[in-house]
Amino acid sequence: MSNWVRQLRFNPVPILAKSEDKAISHFARQDLLEQPAELIYALWKLPEVTELLDKQKMDGSWKYHCGKEAIRSRENYDQLETYRTLGTLVEKYGYLNPQSSLAT
C-alpha cells in the first residue's frame, strides 16, 4: 500500500477503481493500482468525448456560450472555452495526439 494511502482514514482507491465513470475507473486502475487498463481509445469513443469533439469549430476553437462582450471580446471568450475543453479532453480522458497513440 502506498504511503499516501496510509495517511488517509479510509482507502478511496477501490471505490474509484469500481466507479461507473469509465474515465475515473480507468485511471484509478492504471495509475493508482498499477493494473493494466483497457486501451485509452475506449475513453475517446465515449459519448461525452464525441459530444465535445463535435462542438469544435472549423478554426479549431470551441464557442463560449454567453459572456459579456462589454468585458471581453468574443475571441477571448472562445479562447477560454477552447482552453477549458482541451483541458477536459487531456486531463479527464487522456486525449493526447490520437494518431501517435494509435501507431503504438
Mean pLDDT, rounded, of the chain: 85
pLDDT at 70 over 70: no
Q: Are residues 51 and 102 in the same domain?
A: yes
Could you tell me the three cell numbers for 13? Answer: 482507491
| Whether 95 and 60 share a structural domain | yes
Q: What is the pLDDT of residues 31-47, one digit of tens each?
A: 888 887 778 888 999 99
- Domain of 90 in residue numbering reads as 40-104
Q: Give 91's contacts (C-beta < 8 A, 6+ positions apart).
A: none
Alpha helices (H) along 18-97: 22-27, 41-44, 47-54, 74-93
Residue 2 predicted with pLDDT over 80: no
Is pTM beyond 0.85? Reply is no
* CA dist., res. 70 & res. 59, Å (int): 24
Whole-number pLDDT of residue 101 = 46
Is the domain of 18 the same as that of 53?
no
Percentage with pLDDT > 70 across the chain: 86
